[in-house]
Amino acid sequence: MAVVLGVTAVVVLVPLVALLSSLLQPSIDVWSHLWSTRLPGMLVTTTVLVVGVTVGAAVLGTALAWLVAAHRFPGRGLLVWLLALPLAVPAYVSGFVWLDTFDEAGPVGQWWTGVAGADSWYPTVRSLPWAALVLTLALYPYVYLLALAAFRDLPAGQWETARVLSGSRWRAFREVALPAARGSVIAGSVLVALEVLTDVGTVRLFNVQTVADGVFRVWFGLADREAATELAGLLLLAAVAVLLAERRLAARRREATGGRDAARIEPEAIHGRGAVAVGGAVAVVLVALVFPVGRLVAWTVEAVRRGTTASAAGGIDHHLWSSLVVTGWTVLACVVVGVAVAVAARWGRGRRHRALAGATTLGYGLPGPVIALGVLVVLAAIDRTGWLPRGTLLVGSLVGLVLALVVRYLALAVKPAEQAVGRVGRSTEDAARALGAGPAGVVGRVQLPLAVQGLAVAGALVALDVVKELPATLLLRPFGVDTLPVWVWEASSDSRWVEAGPPALVLVALAAIPTALLLRLMVRGRRVDW
Amino acid sequence: MTVIRGSGTGLRATVAVVLFATVAWAAAGCGSGTEDASSGSGDGTQQPVSVYIGRHYGIEPVFEEFTKATGIPVVFTTGKDAELRERIKVEGPNTQADVYLAADAGNLQLAADDGLLASVDSPVLTGAVPERVRAADGSWYALSLRNRTIITSADRVADTDVPTGYEALGDPRWKGRLCLRPSTSAYTQSLVSSLIADRGEDGARAVVDGWVANEPTYIDSDEDMIEAVVAGQCDVAVINHYYLPRTVAEAGPIPVRLTWPTDPPGVHQNISGAGVTANAANPEGARRLIEWLATDGQRSFADVNYEFPANQTVPPRDELVAFGPYTVDSVAVREFGPLQAQAVRLLDEAGYQ
């Protein structure tokens, strides 16, 4: 079993090591240049953005989850769904919709300067606060979904007792409901933090100079790949810090102990000030979902009118197909490898096993292009050895692309898979073995069926990120594979917003599928965190 | 919401996962078919030319025209100039690219310096492409030219006030009225590289300091800068010339004036260009594609994006002729590629965003 872990860890780590080995010979010259120019600003900006968005998403996600989990009001069933769907709108898409609408040259800015005069003050939209707002609205559903599941599992007995004893809903919320959801909120927030840390598309739109953005300034501006990857090493350190912090915080987590069959809390009818909260939730849906999607629809209509509904590589069908192929294979690979890692880690249970399992998830802490380059370097080296059959190359093959995406997103599958596997009690396992089942039998006949739900969560999480993924796909894709994000990029990098409309709209629709699946799994089935 | 428990959800989830996997499986089987489809426009007897291309607008009809004329099919993959160059470098002897087509001279020269491009000795190309806009050793050739130039608001800037060059943008009268592209843009980098080539590092620094002192609004899109000038967010901006005729063609006339810098040494010009990769599997087809693009294909290639043809025997579009004549900065395009890193450092130090 350690072999499975070892092999996976090697596959994930080799591309990272291939790049980060340059850390041993730091580019002192570039570092000192950066330190005296942009680096201090980048560190501050990154910290402010990551902390701001994470806290914002945690608060917003938790509050919205509590609103729909513990209250009754007209339209609640619909709102539960709509509040999850902003996850289907990539931040780099909602980002350019926001810019186009709220920038001084956009309709809102023009209206304002028309009303208040040409010289009146207008906020700079290309700035950190707006980037933080857009990212928060795009990422809060990660917290919302998990918090929703946690509140749903809150035992009614505990809640009622707390309410009666404390005499206030707010105090009961703080003292019972919130602690019960704590682990879930933290898990969701970690995902948000890592997404923000490694984001390169959205921050660039808003002129926000983060460390991840700096990696590309150095890589392409200074044409210094070594120095760029050293800077990326800084991101990896930050990611490890976030994951360690999670482990510490989660260790103190108090779980609701209602068990499977405990009664759920009874949602209360909303009245008075509560209506304001519902209004707030509706506003979130309008701003985070209806507004960007509405704008995409308008662009799409305009694109159809102009007859520009195809990219250089082909129409919607070609790109949709490419996206399905890349996403499908990556999900399959991530889930299979995730299960293998989880089972191996469980079987071994040692410190070393845990460390190896942790190592397989490091790819999530680096920006996509850095991973892509690492994988490219390794695959090209393999291609050059001549081990492969003549005419077969890994670089520029679907296998190479999927491998890069697995390295990047495996982390998303491992944690739900660990829970899926962990759900099976040791006693079940022992019983199965006592009855003569070997390790394979235990996995196949006992653990897997019980764990399907965890695997669905793993698959949906991976699908959600892969379907929106751009940088690795752009760099590694084979001829004839052009995903929807590639088309969105081709159009938007040339400021052809209208032409970016159709692929962006289809992309949102496609990403809504794993989002809906996630929500369904969160509100219906047994609980799986990530 | 009623909470339904039990295995129903698990079952549906399984079905979803299995379905997804099946679709992917079927798709993979058709993967090779997709590739054939994109190259299938030729007669099938000739080996296709593979292109890594950093320019992606309107390129497909141009390649189709080439295939029609020569029977050689073209397959291509789009991407960013620098990343595609990196991919060719890493792929080494196994590269799948026969042609590297980039929208920036800097990246072409860096590719040549890394030995990624083959030196092509072609009388057709040396005849069609001026010496100033090709590599000295024939490793790359310009296919179209674009000018980084100045636009001003026709409403708020008088004809006599129009800045006459890049340095004039540092005049204090433009304080708070100037829009520029951030230093992450290859356009800004190549402009500053050419300033260094012309004036030396200190001279270039003085120009950039002037811009920064005017507290420019940084907008990472030439198209959006035109909008910003129309909307009154800024009165003067620096853009690639082709964005203006393109915007006018789409949206009708706008109160924006395009002028060529007249201060010596003149207009900063960059190129789109191409070279045959050093390890091309089909170098002959690659050479023919570039030769065709520099001659018979010039019109289509340059016109689709309102660029100037590199081949001086091919007249530019009428919209471009209407902008009037210009003097081009005579520094050879290949000279400022290697200065890019120096330019980025200078921009960093000047506090340019």
Task: Write the CATH number for A436.
Answer: 1.10.3720.10
- At residue B157, what is the residue type? V
The pLDDT of residue A277 is: 92
The pLDDT of residue A313 is: 79
Within a domain: residue A358? Answer: yes
- Stretch B95-104: mean pLDDT, rounded? 95
- Stretch A426-445: mean pLDDT, rounded? 68
Within a domain: residue B31? Answer: no
Task: Pick the residue from chain A with its C-alpha nearest to B50.
Answer: A479
Cα angle B44, B48, B54; round to 5: 140
Per-residue pLDDT reduced to its tens digit, A252-286 = 554 544 455 567 788 888 877 788 999 999 999 99
Q: For chain A, what percentages of helix, strand and coil (3-state, to nearest 5) are there? A: 75, 0, 20
As beta bridge partners, residue B34 has none
CA A173 to CA A278: how far, in whole Å?
18
Tell me if A312 and B221 make a contact (CB, 8 A cut-off): no
**B204: domain range?**
147-269+322-350
Whether the per-residue pLDDT at B31 is higher than 50: the answer is no
Query: Binning pLDDT at 50, 70 and 90, where does residue B349 land?
Result: very high
Identify which of A74, A112, A73, A86 has the alpha carbon closest to the alpha carbon of residue A287: A86
Whether the per-residue pLDDT at A442 is higher than 80: the answer is no
Tell me if B34 and A456 make a contact (CB, 8 A cut-off): no
- Stretch A329-358: mean pLDDT, rounded? 83
CA B302 to CA B318: how far, in whole Å?
12
For residues B236 and A11, the model is more confident at B236
CA A466 to CA A464: how far, in whole Å?
6
CA B135 to CA B113: how far, in whole Å?
10
Question: Mind telling me how many Å the CA of A344 is from chain B's nearest CA?
Answer: 22
B50 to chain A: which residues are within 8 Å by CB? Answer: 479
A37 to chain B: which residues are within 8 Å by CB? Answer: 348-349
> Is there a single domain that holds both residue B121 and residue B245?
no
Query: Binning pLDDT at 50, 70 and 90, where does residue A213 land?
Result: very high
> Is there a single domain that holds both residue B306 and residue B243?
no
Lowest pLDDT segment from A60-64, B300-304, B332-336: B332-336
Task: Pick the residue from chain B with its C-alpha nearest to A31.
Answer: B345
Within a domain: residue B40? Answer: no
Helices A497-523 & A291-306 angle (0-180, nearest 10):
140
Within a domain: residue B8? Answer: no
CA A447 to CA A424: how far, in whole Å?
6
Task: Pick the residue from chain A with its C-alpha nearest to B37.
Answer: A480
Decide if B84 contacts B55 (C-beta within 8 A).
no
**A378: domain range?**
2-254+272-523
> Is there a single domain that holds both residue B175 and residue B157?
yes
The pLDDT of residue B26 is: 44
Highest mean pLDDT: which of A167-176, A248-257, A515-524, B187-196? B187-196
The pLDDT of residue B38 is: 40
The pLDDT of residue A252 is: 57
Tell me if B13 and A521 make a contact (CB, 8 A cut-off): yes
Prediction ipTM score: 0.86
Burial readout B10-36 (b: 16 or more C-beta within 10 A, e: otherwise) = bebbbebbeebbeebeebeeebeebbe
CA A391 to CA A377: how far, in whole Å?
19
The set of residues, in sequence order, having a beta carbon less than 8 Å from that of A442 and lying 6+ positions away, is: A429, A432, A433
> Is there a single domain that holds both residue B114 and residue B125?
yes
As beta bridge partners, residue A259 has none
Give the DSSP H/E element, type plus range, for residue B158. none
Tell me if A395 and B87 make a contact (CB, 8 A cut-off): yes
Residues 394-423 of A with CB under 8 A from B: 395-396, 398
A395 to chain B: which residues are within 8 Å by CB? Answer: 87, 90-91, 94, 96
For residues A424 and B192, the model is more confident at B192
The pLDDT of residue B248 is: 95
Alpha helices of B171-277 — where are they, by DSSP H?
Answer: 186-213, 222-231, 243-251
The pLDDT of residue A455 is: 86
What number of other Cβ atoms are within 10 A of residue A411's Cβ? Answer: 25
A99 to chain B: which residues are within 8 Å by CB? Answer: 224
Decide if A87 contacts A516 (C-beta within 8 A).
no
Residue of B82, B86, B232 lying closest to A113 (CB–CB) = B232
- Stretch A401-428: mean pLDDT, rounded? 82
Query: Binning pLDDT at 50, 70 and 90, where does residue B345 land?
Result: very high
- Stretch B34-51: mean pLDDT, rounded? 60
As beta bridge partners, residue B148 has B240, B268
For A515, the token pair is 């989002």
Name the pTM for this structure: 0.89
CA A391 to CA B32: how far, in whole Å?
14
Write down the mean pLDDT value for chain A: 87
DSSP letters for A30-98 = HHHHHHHTTHHHHHHHHHHHHHHHHHHHHHHHHHHHHHHHHEE-TTHHHHHHHTTGGGGS-HHHHHHHH
CA A249 to CA B307: how far, in whole Å?
58
> Is there a single domain that holds both residue B230 and residue B344?
yes
Tell me if A104 and B231 make a contact (CB, 8 A cut-off): yes
Query: Binning pLDDT at 50, 70 and 90, where does residue B325 land?
Result: very high
- Stretch A487-506: mean pLDDT, rounded? 90
Token pair 């099946």 in the structure block, residue: B22
B75 to chain A: which residues are within 8 Å by CB? Answer: 479-480
Task: Pick the residue from chain A with its C-alpha nearest to B8.
Answer: A525
Q: How many CA atoms lie within 13 A of B115 on its CB side?
A: 4
Within a domain: residue B126? Answer: yes
Whether the per-residue pLDDT at A70 is higher than 50: the answer is yes
Within a domain: residue B313? Answer: yes
Best B242, B336, B344 member to test A by mutation, with max A CBs in 10 Å, is: B344
Question: Mind telling me how many Å the CA of B187 is from chain A's nearest CA?
Answer: 11
Lowest pLDDT segment from A210-219, B134-143, B153-162: A210-219
Omega cis (within 30) before A86: no
B93 to chain A: which residues are within 8 Å by CB? Answer: 384
- At residue B84, what is the residue type? L
Question: Mind telling me how many Å the CA of B127 is from chain A's nearest CA?
Answer: 30
Query: Binning pLDDT at 50, 70 and 90, where does residue A361 land?
Result: confident
For chain B, how far is it from start to end, CA to CA, in angstroms? 51
Cα angle B103, B107, B112; round to 5: 125
Per-residue pLDDT reduced to its tens digit, B245-284 = 999 998 899 999 999 999 988 999 999 999 999 999 999 9
Residue of B10, B186, B341 lying closest to A453 (CB–CB) = B10
A325, A504, A513, A518, B151 from A461: Cα distances, Å: 17, 20, 11, 7, 47
Tell me if B31 and A260 make a contact (CB, 8 A cut-off): no
The pLDDT of residue A427 is: 58
Whether the per-residue pLDDT at B334 is higher than 90: the answer is no
Within a domain: residue A529? Answer: no
> Is there a single domain that holds both residue B70 and residue B158?
no
> Is there a single domain that holds both residue B165 and residue B282?
no
> Is there a single domain that holds both residue B160 and residue B76?
no
Alpha helices of B30-163 — where are they, by DSSP H?
Answer: 31-39, 59-70, 81-91, 105-113, 123-128
Say if A260 is an interface residue toward chain B (CB within 8 Å). Answer: yes
Tell me if B17 and A459 make a contact (CB, 8 A cut-off): yes
- Stretch A492-513: mean pLDDT, rounded? 92
A486 to chain B: which residues are within 8 Å by CB? Answer: 78
Per-residue pLDDT reduced to its tens digit, A49-64 = 999 999 999 999 999 9
Say if A262 is an interface residue toward chain B (CB within 8 Å). Answer: no
Tell me if A452 and B182 make a contact (CB, 8 A cut-off): no
For residues B116 and A227, the model is more confident at B116
The pLDDT of residue A261 is: 54
For B117, the token pair is 């491009």
Whether the per-residue pLDDT at A119 is higher than 80: the answer is no
Size of interface A-B (CB pairs under 8 A): 219
Tell me if B82 and A223 make a contact (CB, 8 A cut-off): yes
Whether the per-residue pLDDT at B45 is higher than 80: the answer is no
Whether the per-residue pLDDT at B32 is higher than 80: the answer is no
- Stretch A105-131: mean pLDDT, rounded? 89
Whether the per-residue pLDDT at B15 is higher than 70: the answer is no
For residues A452 and B62, the model is more confident at B62
Please give the torsion angle defined by the CA atoms of residues A165, A171, A172 and A173, in that order, rounded to the nearest 10 degrees.
180
State the total domains in chain B. Answer: 2
Task: Pick the residue from chain B with its C-alpha nearest to A260.
Answer: B5
For strands B308-309 and B141-153, give the pairing. Answer: antiparallel
Lowest pLDDT segment from A232-241, A281-290, A415-424: A415-424
Token pair 């698990």 in the structure block, residue: B10
Within a domain: residue A478? Answer: yes
Per-residue pLDDT reduced to its tens digit, B163-201 = 999 999 999 999 999 999 999 998 999 999 999 999 999
R_g of chain A, CA atoms, integer Å: 24
Whichever domain contains B256, its CATH number is 3.40.190.10
Question: Mind telling me how many Å the CA of A474 is from chain B's nearest CA?
Answer: 6
Decide if A132 contacts A53 (C-beta within 8 A).
yes
Question: Mind telling me how many Å the CA of B185 is from chain A's nearest CA?
Answer: 9
Within a domain: residue A265? Answer: no
> Is there a single domain that holds both residue B167 and residue B254?
yes
DSSP letters for A231-261 = HHHHHHHHHHHHHHHHHHHHHTPPPP---TT
CA A364 to CA B66: how far, in whole Å?
43
State the total domains in chain A. Answer: 1
Within a domain: residue B114? Answer: yes
Say if A115 is an interface residue toward chain B (CB within 8 Å). Answer: no
The pLDDT of residue A526 is: 60
Within a domain: residue B339? Answer: yes
Tell me if A105 and B231 make a contact (CB, 8 A cut-off): yes
Best A34, A384, A479 member to test B by mutation, with max B CBs in 10 Å, is: A479
Within a domain: residue A260? Answer: no
Tell me if A312 and B183 make a contact (CB, 8 A cut-off): no
Tell me if A396 and B96 make a contact (CB, 8 A cut-off): yes
A475 to chain B: which residues are within 8 Å by CB? Answer: 79, 83, 86-87
Task: Pick the residue from chain A with its C-alpha nearest to B82.
Answer: A220
> Is there a single domain that holds both residue B282 and residue B190?
no
Decide if B338 contacts B256 (C-beta within 8 A).
no
Task: Pick the residue from chain B with its C-alpha nearest to A395.
Answer: B91
For strands B99-102 and B268-276, give the pairing. Answer: antiparallel
For A472, the token pair is 């690795």
Tell me if B27 and A331 make a contact (CB, 8 A cut-off): no
Tell me if B86 and A225 make a contact (CB, 8 A cut-off): yes
> Is there a single domain that holds both residue B282 and residue B337?
no
The pLDDT of residue B7 is: 38
The pLDDT of residue B18 is: 47
> Is there a single domain that holds both residue B265 and residue B344?
yes
Helices (H) and strands (E) in chain B, counts: 14, 10
Per-residue pLDDT reduced to its tens digit, A506-516 = 999 999 999 99
B218 to chain A: which residues are within 8 Å by CB? Answer: 126, 207
Question: Mind telling me how many Å the CA of A245 is from chain B's nearest CA?
Answer: 32
Within a domain: residue B232? Answer: yes
The pLDDT of residue A380 is: 86
A358: helix, strand or coil? helix
Residue of A223, A264, A524 lying closest to B110 (CB–CB) = A223
